[in-house]
Amino acid sequence: MLGKLTWQAIPLDQPIPLAAGALVVIVLAVLLIWVAAKGYIPYLWREWITSVDHKRIGIMYCLLAGVMLVRGFIDALMMRSQQALAFHAAGYLPPEHYNQIFSAHGTIMIFFMAMPFVIGLMNFAMPLQLGVRDVAFPTLNSVSFWLTAAGALLVNISLVVGEFARTGWLPYPPLSELTYSPGVGVDYYLWAIQISGIGTLMTGINMVTTVLKIRAHGMNYMRMPIFCWTTLASNLVIVAAFPILTATLAMLLLDRYVGFHFFTNEAGGNAMMFMNLIWAWGHPEVYILVLPAFGVFSEVVSTFSGKPLFDRRSMVIASLAICILSLCVWLHHFFTMGTGGDVNAVVGIASMIIAVPTGVKIYNWLFTMYGGRVRFSSAMLWSIGFMVTFIIGGMTGVLVASPVADFVLHNSLFLVAHFHNVIIGGVVFGVFAGYTYWFPKAFGFVLDERLGKAAFWCWLVGFYVAFMPLYVVGLEGMTRRMQHYDRSEWYPWLVVAGVGALIILCGIALQIAQLWVSIRGRAQRRDLTGDPWDGRSLEWSTTSPPPAFNFAVLPNVTSDEPYWSIKQQARARGQLVTPEPEYAPIEMPRNSPTGFVTAFFAVVTGFSLIWHIWWLVILGLVGAYVTFVAFAWRDRHEIEIPAAEVARIDRANRAARAAALSEEPVQ
């Protein structure tokens, strides 16, 4: 009846996962009861869960990412403390548990923290910057989000029911084959990533279509903000690379479920092919993450320097160069598999070449600050912290791209330090900058700057204290994923790294405090102008938070920095430049529970596939198909927002802006 699922799947004999799981379940239950008692469920259902508004979906993506950041960071703390304790000792985590923790840490941080965060920011800001009302396929967007959430849920269910993969965040066969990993851990990984991966691919298609086909009048390609360009580049890579991931994991699933031999040791299987395929997705993946972060930094550095971005054309060329090169270098993940000198050298040099457009970007941000009036808000601090940190990470990246250096650094903690250096220093700092920068646009009040800056300094210092020792210990020859060791020269560095993780913990605590304090004091922190940072692109021209339709009248773009030009003209004249437009009713897509219901059936299907509950698999698939059919047969697609309502919202916005203008000295 329940396949492989028995009471033994609940780790009643292991206190750590049991306590952690029980805590999560209790917190969720309390949260749900509180929400229900307050009567918020109809509101949440109407305004958020079924919402197809790109801004709401973007916010939900970021919220999911924030929760998963905490989850993944708890794993990181456990790993660092285990390695700080396990010198000549077993530590407190046995191998079968430690191995699950580092696998879950990588999986969660890449797939359910970094990806949702960048996709959330792209979802929120890109249509606003393009001056349009929504993405190309709003309901598909909702489905994408809920499928990602479904994957995250499955990974977290494995904490309580069964186990997670013990193979690392990329399940290399033959270790991940049934012979060597007979448990359900790898299956949890595979189905969670398959489900969320489909969501990500649909996001990629959605975003590429939006940028290419839906832009405000006059917003030609060279006038698009750089964030939209990097969104385009990133999503092109998603569309190119994610099908490879899905196909590769599907082959591993066939091996595990129906006895195929793609990657097995026996019957002609070849595990090297998995390495090849998974990195053909995996290396582009890091550029999928970092390109939108580059876009955020471009917006933030320009805004807080009070200047246009230096040399936009170079920036666009560099982004597209990275987009294409990112797909050509995956082979550097197996320099040490015995490929010859020619192959190694060609791929090594190709990998190094990516440093050229990336270096150009750094210099362009540098010269954007030149001649500017730099305001050190916390978003700008994240950006400067990024520039310094990312250069160091880029440098060590070029080091490991040199095949002969990689021969002694591959899989070492030097490598671990390198990719945390670029992912924390690049992606995480980037999403935090974007979060601080666009928060007032999303909610109509600014985040507390003092706590934000304190969080930044904790993260920055914590990062260096946690990861610089790992560079050293990597040069000492320590490899990654060691549950215990007996080499005295590694020990002090790992203790220091553990202290660094605690400093980052302070940073995260400060960020939670910042959110709490800012929400409590939102009445005083309100931003009525919709433009708290003196912004330059179109998202700052509408109210904060923007209405469902974003713009009362779609903007007509005549320059590279449309909102900045409008503001400059208004400042010169001392009054708003555009006369009040004629308001017309606006048609917006109707909210739809399709995404949520599909994801519900996806979780049911995934869970029952993991536990071999075949009747439930069929039920889940039928449910998902029925949902799709019901959506396809809908007869009312859109709702109309009356002109009077549009006028009311826009008049308030214009009045606030006129008031803000009269407070400024005329330039």
Partner 1 sequence: MLRSILTVVLISLAACHTAVLSPAGPVGEGNRIVLLDSLAIMLAIVVPTIVAILAFAYWFRASNIRARYLPEWAYSGRLELIVWSIPALVIFFLGGIAWISSHLLDPAEPLKSQAEPVEVQVVSLDWKWLFIYPQQNVASINHMVVPAGVPLNLKITSASVFNVFFVPRLGSMIYAMYGMTTRLNLQADRPGVYPGLSAHFSGDGFPGMAFDVHAVTRQEFTQWAAATRSSGPVLDEAAYRKLLKQSQNVSPYTYRSVQTGLFDDIVEQRLPPGEGPPTAQSAASGSVAVLAAREH
487 contacts partner 1 (rule: CB under 8 A) = yes
Q: What is the DSSP letter of 443?
A: H
Task: Return the active site residues.
Answer: 61, 71, 75, 79, 102, 123, 134, 141, 144, 148, 200, 203, 210, 283, 285, 287, 298, 314, 358, 361, 418-420
Lay out the site mask for partner 1 across 129-168 (x = CB under 8 A, - = otherwise): -------------------------------------xxx
Least distance (Å) from partner 1 to the CB of residue 539? 20
391 contacts partner 1 (rule: CB under 8 A) = yes
Burial tier of 258 (Cβ tally within 10 Å: 0-12, 13-18, 19+): exposed
237 to 33, 280, 285: CA distances (angstroms): 42, 11, 8
376 contacts partner 1 (rule: CB under 8 A) = yes
Radius of gyration of the chain (CA): 25
Least distance (Å) from partner 1 to the CB of residue 235? 26
| Between 63 and 468, CB nearer to partner 1 | 468
The Cα–Cα gap between 531 and 540 comes to 5
The Cα–Cα gap between 468 and 255 comes to 40
- Considering only residues 249 to 278 of the shown chain, the ones binding partner 1 according to CB under 8 A are 265-266, 270-272
- Considering only residues 295 to 324 of the shown chain, the ones binding partner 1 according to CB under 8 A are 305-312, 314
| Nearest in space to 360 (alpha carbons), one of 321, 388, 307, 327 | 321
Binder among 62, 64, 237, 360 for partner 1 (CB under 8 A): 360
348 contacts partner 1 (rule: CB under 8 A) = yes
Q: At what angle do helices 378-401 and 271-305 cross, to 10 degrees?
A: 150
The Cα–Cα gap between 257 and 373 comes to 61
| Between 481 and 654, CB nearer to partner 1 | 481
Least distance (Å) from partner 1 to the CB of residue 485? 6
Least distance (Å) from partner 1 to the CB of residue 405? 4
- Considering only residues 448 to 477 of the shown chain, the ones binding partner 1 according to CB under 8 A are 460-461, 464, 468, 471-472, 474-477
Which residues neighbour 435 within 8 Å (Cβ) at sequence distance 6 or greater? 62, 117, 121
Q: How many CA atoms lie within 13 A of 324 on its CB side?
A: 7
| Between 195 and 384, CB nearer to partner 1 | 384
Binder among 47, 489, 587, 640 for partner 1 (CB under 8 A): 489
Which tokens sit at 254?
């066939």
Q: What are phi and psi of 412, to 5 degrees?
A: -85, 175
477 to 79, 418, 420, 486, 586: CA distances (angstroms): 19, 15, 18, 13, 63
Q: What is the DSSP letter of 402?
A: S
- Considering only residues 170 to 199 of the shown chain, the ones binding partner 1 according to CB under 8 A are 172, 174-175, 179-180, 182
Using an 8 Å Cβ cutoff, are 420 and 370 in contact? no
| Between 181 and 234, CB nearer to partner 1 | 181
Least distance (Å) from partner 1 to the CB of residue 606? 25
Using an 8 Å Cβ cutoff, are 219 and 559 in contact? no
Using an 8 Å Cβ cutoff, are 646 and 583 in contact? yes
Q: Which residues partner with 412 through β-bridges?
A: 479
- Considering only residues 405 to 444 of the shown chain, the ones binding partner 1 according to CB under 8 A are 405, 407-412
Lay out the site mask for partner 1 across 73-102 (x = CB under 8 A, - = otherwise): ----------------------xx--x---
Binder among 9, 205, 345, 502 for partner 1 (CB under 8 A): 345
Binder among 32, 35, 404, 519 for partner 1 (CB under 8 A): 404
- Considering only residues 9 to 38 of the shown chain, the ones binding partner 1 according to CB under 8 A are none
Q: What is the DSSP letter of 340?
A: -
Helix intervals (H) in 184-335: 185-213, 226-258, 271-305, 312-325
Binder among 15, 39, 42, 338 for partner 1 (CB under 8 A): 338
Binder among 241, 369, 603, 624 for partner 1 (CB under 8 A): 369
The Cα–Cα gap between 126 and 327 comes to 24
Least distance (Å) from partner 1 to the CB of residue 489? 8
| Between 205 and 272, CB nearer to partner 1 | 272
For 252-331, list the strands marked E by DSSP. Answer: none
Please provide the size of the chain in residues. Answer: 667
Lay out the site mask for partner 1 across 599-638 (x = CB under 8 A, - = otherwise): ----------------------------------------
The Cα–Cα gap between 283 and 285 comes to 5
508 contacts partner 1 (rule: CB under 8 A) = no
Total binding residues toward partner 1, as defined by CB under 8 A: 97
Amino acid at 167: T
| Between 460 and 538, CB nearer to partner 1 | 460
| Between 246 and 270, CB nearer to partner 1 | 270
Least distance (Å) from partner 1 to the CB of residue 553? 28
Binder among 77, 276, 328, 359 for partner 1 (CB under 8 A): 359
For 539-645, list the strands marked E by DSSP. Answer: 586-589, 638-641
